Amino acid sequence: MREFSEQEIVRREKAEKLRELGLDPFGHRFDRKDFACDIVKKYQDVDHDAFESMEDTATVAGRILFIRRMGKASFFSLQDKTGSIQIYISINDVGEDAYQLFKSADIGDIVGVFGKVMKTKTGEVTIKCLEYTHLVKALRPLPEKFHGLTDIEERYRRRYVDLIMNEDSRKVAFLRPKIIRCIQNYMDAHQFVEVETPVLTTLLTGASARPFVTHHNAQDLEMYLRIALELPLKRLLVGGMEAVYEIGRVFRNEGMDQKHNPEFTLMEAYLAYSDLEGMMDLTEGMFTTIAKEVFGKMTYQFGGYEINLDGPWKRISMTDAIKEQTGIDFKEIHDLDECLRLAEEHHIALEEHEKAYGHIVNKFFEKYVEETLIQPTFLYGHPIEISPLTKKNPEDPRFVDRFELFMAGKEFANAYTELNDPIDQLERFEAQLQERDLGNDEANDIDMDFIEALEYGMPPAGGIGYGIDRLVMLFTEQESIRDVLLFPTMKEKSR
């Protein structure tokens, strides 16, 4: 049986006394008309003496976060979703019954206040309470300290308390939907249509990742939570929708760290008659639009660096980037044995399925280049082995028309000139199955329905995927993905 602390017992006793007075401890509707920060902003520049001739009133509601009692008059702070405002309450203004009700209030209680706007002698915008309404009794006390390293797990686990106590967390929580709304407006302005596609699927396609497995009882069918959005969206290009995007949750059965969460928000967009260059232009425009319209600045602190989003952004091929760092020009190397020798000389370990030209090139990139890409950089020209859904480069079929956007050594977007050749696509899927036989448990399945769709004809297209969580991390200058997710996946709490 649960044991209550002394404070919890006292608060429960107060709740019972409210019931005895005919008041519901957990309240009813309250017609709030104003918000704390709007009031402060409106009156902060008004001179103190000017309030003597003003009769402006406000009706606010929120949580009590501070109380300073002084006999027959007191001050307390009320916090709503916009911030905090000071309240002055006096027995002379509200009457003895209402003042006694206030005196029984605790920090954490939710109340409503109607009063006259004023300013204290110290210059703080304040509401002089004329009517006090109890709304909700908080049965648990708020923590005095909630931000030390010892509480970091509890901050994420009990996000509701974090949002009460931590102004930075509230700021990020409200900025995230503003960023997403800006993205939607930007995509709408570029004639894209937002769509929804299935979360449950019977095939693993669209990305290299391990899935979460579930079961559909009615069909007695094993299913997966989607790992990407790609193939359903490209089916819509076949159907003639031409410019589509989706912002949705995807699920990958992987570890958790500062940059990864097993469920995360992905945006994918596909534009008929475009290509890799079109996706670069779309991406640079989207990021700079968010920077200007939501934040009003072009530089951000992220990953220990100052990132400048002013364009034009750097564009460089993967082989040229490797050559810059190592002097090795893989574009001029065609012999696999030479690649294997270079990998051994540079102490690059290879799994059996990675003993191929493209995988070795990618390993060199990951070891020598990735962490050096600090300012916004479009890295293009990936090997075909690591890009099963991308159109081959017409000049060198060992590579595909793909780019990744990097900042602060981290990937922010992945784009393709889309593969629309059904014969080539089937061969790529079959190669993925061969890799699975060699031990690659993240290889794609063959989606024959998608092959059939391509056989009806998909227009040439550009496509791109963005990690929305990492994008929000950049713009809100957060170093952990858990700080931009309201409810990150947590390890089970030990009992």
Give the Cα separation of 348 and 341 in Å (integer).
Answer: 10
State which of 115, 136, 157 marks the end of a domain. 136
Residue 362 maps to a domain: no
What DSSP element (H or E) covers 415? strand 410-417
Is 121 in the same domain as 174? Answer: no
Return the structure tokens found at 74.
Answer: 């007191």
Both tokens of residue 119? 């300013």
Same domain, 302 and 169: yes
Pair (306, 194) in one structural domain: yes
172 plus 121 within the same structural domain: no
CATH of the domain at 448: 3.30.930.10
Inter-residue contact 403 to 275 (CB < 8 Å)? no
Decide which of 118, 136, 154 is a domain's last residue. Answer: 136
Name the residue range of residue 104's domain.
6-136
| Residue 128 and residue 175 in one domain | no
User: Is there a single domain that holds both residue 104 and residue 233?
Assistant: no
Task: State which residues of the chain have pLDDT below 50.
Answer: 148-150
- How far apart CA 99 and CA 102 sit, in angstroms, is 5
SS3 assignment for 226-289? CCCCHHHHHHHHHCCCCEEEEEEEEECCCCCECCECCEEEEEEEEEECCCHHHHHHHHHHHHHH
405, part of any domain: yes
Q: What pTM did the predictor assign?
A: 0.91
267 within 8 A of 249, measured Cβ to Cβ: no
Distance CA 110, CA 115 (A): 16
Q: Which residue has the tokens 């050594």?
A: 409
Q: What is the pLDDT of residue 87?
A: 98
pLDDT of 83: 96
pLDDT computed for residue 145 by the predictor: 63
Determine the residue type at 250: V
pLDDT of residue 149: 38
Q: Do 121 and 24 lie in a common domain? A: yes
Amino acid code (one letter) for 179: I
CATH number at residue 42: 2.40.50.140
CB-based contact 343:363 (threshold 8 Å) = yes
156 belongs to a structural domain:
no
CA-based torsion, 145, 146, 148, 153: positive or negative: positive
96, part of any domain: yes
Q: Residue 397 domain-assigned? A: yes
Q: What is the per-residue pLDDT for 417?
A: 93
Domain boundary among 136, 154, 186: 136
Q: Are residues 92 and 171 in the same domain?
A: no
128 and 174 belong to one structural domain: no
Structural domains in the chain (count) = 2
Residue 345 lies in a domain: no
Amino acid letter for position 423: I
Same domain, 100 and 191: no
Q: Give strand ranges (E) for 206-255.
A: 213-216, 221-225, 243-251
Q: Is residue 142 part of a domain?
A: no
333, part of any domain: no
433 shares a domain with 298: yes
Residue 436 has what pLDDT?
74
Q: Single out the residue of 316, 317, 288, 467 nearest to residue 399, CA to CA.
A: 317
pLDDT tens per residue across span 297-327: 999 999 999 999 998 999 999 999 999 999 9
pLDDT digits (tens, 9 = 90+) for 96-123: 999 999 999 999 999 999 999 999 999 9
Q: Are residues 249 and 122 in the same domain?
A: no
Which pLDDT does position 377 carry in this prediction? 98
